[in-house]
Structure 1
Amino acid sequence: MKDIFFCPEESNFYSNCLENLVLRNCENGDSIVEFGSGDGSPVINSLLRNKFDGVIHGFELNTSAWKAANLTIDEYNLANKYIINNSCLFKSSKPQAKYLVANPPYLPAPDPDIYMPLLFGGIDGATVTNNLLSLGYENALLLISSFSNPKSTIEQAQEHGYTVNNFVVLPLKFGHYSSEPKVKQHIEELRKHKMAFYSGEYYFLAGVLFNKCQKNTTDLSHELAQVMTSL
């Protein structure tokens, strides 16, 4: 469906990040909050491949995506593990959870009038991502794009007491949404100001696990910044 985000490569990457950086580290009964669940497929695929006995509370504004997700959740009998609200996390009473996870909207553009407005990440693409880091969850797994002012996100994380615990990087080709002329031209402008990094038709998407600072932990922030600005 045209009004539901569709990018199998990105969704599979998000799913793998969820499994390797979050679900395998979860203890009995841990709860997770997800911002922007979409059609639910990344989490559903992860749950079908892993033993997870906690609950994932998702938030999704797109009603079509929310309906599609719930149909699949029912089909696989996952309603006791994955509950999606057709509402905005920022406007809810913040659910308690050990982890916040998201593949946030990260498309930079002058305004939200793009192919899919819910993918608008603010003028530099990092607005929603940076706002998620202000919610104060102990752990946050976020997907970060190299053309969406990644340095600002790393700085925002540090300001809110996070270190980078681990990250995985995927080279991705500009797709349907990021190749929209209005978006692509804006990304080119950001590049001139060292706020977007890409090479030819490729950019980096990183799955980053942020933890609230603990003493004597290795912080991979500098390494992440070097990778995300290397294109």
Structure 2
Amino acid sequence: MKDIFFCPEESNFYSNCLDTFVLNNCRNSDSIVEFGSGDGSPMINSLLKNKFDAVIHGFELNTLAWKLANSKIDEYNLAHKYKISNSCLFNSSQPKAEYLVANPPYLPAPDPDIYMPLLFGGVDGATVTNNLLSLGYKNVLVLVSSFSNPTSTIKIAAKNHYFVHNFMVLPLKFGHYSSEPKVKKCIDSLRQKKMAFYSENHYFLAGVLFRNSQESTINLSNELAQVMTSL
């Protein structure tokens, strides 16, 4: 469906990050909040492989995606574990949880008038991601794009006492959404300002687990910055 985000490679990567950094490490007493659940596929795929038995509270603004997600949740009998609201996390009471997870919108553009407006991540692509790091959740798993001012995200994280606890990186080709002329022009402009990093056909997408702690024994922030700016 063209009105619902569709990129199997990215969705599978997000699901893998959920498995590796969150669900495999959660206790059953831990709850999870998800920003932008989409059609629910990444989280559902992870839940079907995992013994996680607490509750995930998802938020999704796209009504079509929300309806599709709930039909899949019912199909797999996961309604007791995965509950998605057709609303925005930022405008909610922001339920308490050990983890906040998201594949947030990260397309840079001068305004939201793009092929899929809900993928608009602000003029540098990092606005929504950076705002998620201001909500105070102890652990935040987000996907970070190398063409969406990744260094600003690392700096905002540090300002809010988040450290990079772990990450993994996927090289991706520019796809349908990121190749839209209006978006690509903005990405090219960011590159000239050293705010976007990519090769001719590829960029990096990193799944990053940020942990909020005054003192962290693990801090991979410098390593992440080096990887994301290496293209």
TM-score tier by shorter-chain length is: over 0.9
* Alpha-carbon shift at residue 215 of structure 1 (Å): 2.8
Partners in 1 of 2:44 and 2:214 — Cα distance? 31
- Alignment check: 8 A CA contact 2:161 2:214 kept: no
Alignment of 1:79-94 (within 5 A): 79-94=79-94
- Alignment check: 8 A CA contact 2:163 2:216 kept: no
TM-score, normalization by structure 1: 0.99
Partners in 2 of 1:219 and 1:226 — Cα distance? 13
Name the structure 2 match of 1:118: 118
Q: Can you list the C-alpha shifts for 1:142-187, whole angstroms capped at 9, x where unaligned?
A: 0000000000000000000001000000000000000001100110
1:64 lines up with 2:80 in the alignment: no
Q: Can you list the C-alpha shifts for 1:120-150, whole angstroms capped at 9, x where unaligned?
A: 0000000000000000000000000000000
Name the structure 2 match of 1:210: 210
Name the structure 1 match of 2:191: 191
Partners in 2 of 1:170 and 1:176 — Cα distance? 17
* Alpha-carbon shift at residue 213 of structure 1 (Å): 1.8
Name the structure 1 match of 2:9: 9
**Code of the aligned partner of 1:131:** N
Q: Secondary structure at the match of 1:9?
A: helix
**Code of the aligned partner of 2:59:** F
TM-score, normalization by structure 2: 0.99
Q: Secondary structure at the match of 1:87?
A: coil
Name the structure 2 match of 1:77: 77
Q: Secondary structure at the match of 1:209?
A: strand
Name the structure 1 match of 2:127: 127
Q: Can you list the C-alpha shifts for 1:62-82, whole angstroms capped at 9, x where unaligned?
A: 000000000000000000000
Q: Secondary structure at the match of 2:198?
A: coil
Partners in 2 of 1:215 and 1:186 — Cα distance? 37
Name the structure 1 match of 2:201: 201
Q: Can you list the C-alpha shifts for 1:74-119, whole angstroms capped at 9, x where unaligned?
A: 0000000000000000000010000000000000001100000000
